[in-house]
Each structure stands twice: as C-alpha cells, then as structure tokens.
Amino acid sequence: MNYAMVLDYQNCINCKACEVACKEQNGVQLGADKQRIWVSTYENSIFGNPFVAFHPSQCNHCVDAPCVSVCPTGASYFAEGGLVMANKDKCILCKGCMEACPYDARFVDDKYVAVDKCTFCFDTRISKGETTTACQATCPTKVRLFGDLDDEKGELVQLLKKRKFFVLKESEGTVPKLFYLFPEKDTSFAENSIGKGTTIHTWESYKPVIDKAVAMRRKS
C-alpha cells in the first residue's frame, strides 16, 4: 500500500470547495493561515494580458520525508500506506518539521498546541471504508484522484500510465506523491504554469524513483 494523489490541475476553478471540505471533515482550525490543503494562485502578465494559474496542493506524503527525519520525538512518522502523519500528543512544537518541509504543508494548530497537516483523510474517511478524500469527493470539476501506487490495476496507476505528469520541487529529493497531470492539450498553459526545469515524467520514468526511495526507507 502506497497512498498517493493525482491532480488534474487544469480543471481547477479555485472555488475552494476542497479547502472547506477539508476543514469541515477534519475539524481544522479556522484562519487563513491554518490550512491542510490550499489552492495557490499564480498571476502574471504576458504581453500585457493577464495570466492566471491555480495549483491545488497539500502535503505530498513524500517517500523520503524530511519532516519525519528531522522530528526529535517521533511525532512525525510514516503510517500505513506511506502516509506522513503528525502525532499531536508527541509534538513538542519545535517546528523543525515546518522548517524542513519544502512545501509549507504544516502549520501550528492552536487548539492542540501541536503541528497539524493533511492526512489524506485517513483517520476521518479512508480507515472507515470511504475510498475518496473529502477534497476529492466534493470537487465540482474533479481535480483530484486518491489511490494506491502499489495497485497496478487501480485507477490511479492506470491514469499515470496514460498521462504525463510532474511533481513539485523534485530536486529536493523528497520523492513527493502529489502527481500533477501535464496539461498536454494546452501547451501555452503548460509552459506558463510549470516552472522552468521541471521534469515531465511518465510512469516508466518515475516508478523506479519511487521504488528506490521505498526500498531505502524500508532498509532504514
């Protein structure tokens, strides 16, 4: 079991249904800076014309997660399916994980006085038999697909075999598991919404990266 998420970010209309569903489902603290998931807005001007791109995002549940290695108390840990979880009881709020995370995916939950983050709704939905996360289920344009990288026949791997994709900040070496589908039908959007130097992957090119990182983690 290796949980992951595919995001067809070209579909995103930034309605924030996902953000609200996440807060409602998981009891996330209110406040603009208290977000387990978010939609980044990138704005630019191209030859005087506005350009806007939305990047829905959340914790990447990295295979080689720096937040886990940096945690002094074991509060950050790998759970079932490679999920990166934060145990609030063990958290001493040193915020090392927040510093270590390249994706700014963690924040301080003032209710618990501990770090909070995305769990892929494992505790609130997946472990109770649901097959979708709250953000996926509620989305009007169905940006997200949650699934298992180990399930070759599953919808998620099938989609990754069919479509090109990229991950965020690959050079950090964290082996992230949010897969952004390459907008192949809109090259201009692709060009302007994906950072220069980003590798566009296929399942064949990325699968070995995951396998290697998973093997490394098992060893340690």
Please give the residue ranges that form the binding site for another protein (CB under 8 A): 10-11, 13-17, 19-21, 23-35, 38-43, 45, 48-50, 52-55, 104, 110-111, 124, 131-132, 134, 136-142, 145-147, 155, 166, 168-169, 183, 185-186, 189, 193-196, 198
Q: Which residue has the tokens 């990138």?
A: 42
> For residues 198 and 133, what is the distance between their CA atoms, to the nearest angstrom?
27
What six digits make up the tokens of 94? 């040193």
Nearer to another protein by Cβ, of 13 and 92: the residue is: 13
Which lies closer to another protein via its Cβ, residue 84 or residue 135? 135
Minimum distance from residue 25 beta carbon to another protein (Å): 6
In whole angstroms, the minimum distance from the beta carbon of 115 to another protein comes to: 15
Q: In this complex, which beta carbon is closest to another protein, that of residue 153 or of residue 219?
A: 153
**Least spacing, CB of residue 91 vs another protein, in Å:** 17
Closer of 53 and 75 to another protein (Cβ): 53
User: Strands (DSSP E) along 138-215, which ranges?
Assistant: 144-148, 165-166, 178-181
**Which is nearer to another protein, 103 or 214 (by Cβ)?**
103
CB 116 within 8 A of CB 86: yes
Nearest CA among 10, 103, 95 for reference residue 53:
10
Q: Do 146 and 133 touch, CB atoms closer than 8 A?
A: yes
- Please check whether residue 56 is in contact with residue 143, taking contact to mean a CB–CB distance below 8 angstroms: yes
Strands (E), the chain: 3-7, 37-46, 49-58, 76-79, 83-86, 107-109, 114-116, 144-148, 165-166, 178-181
CB of 188 to another protein, least distance (A): 9
CB of 158 to another protein, least distance (A): 10
C-alpha–C-alpha distance, residues 19 and 76, integer Å:
23
Q: Least distance from C-beta 164 to another protein, angstroms?
A: 14
- What is the sign, positive or negative, of the torsion defined by CA atoms of 155, 160, 166, 170? positive
Closer to another protein by Cβ: residue 38 or 206:
38
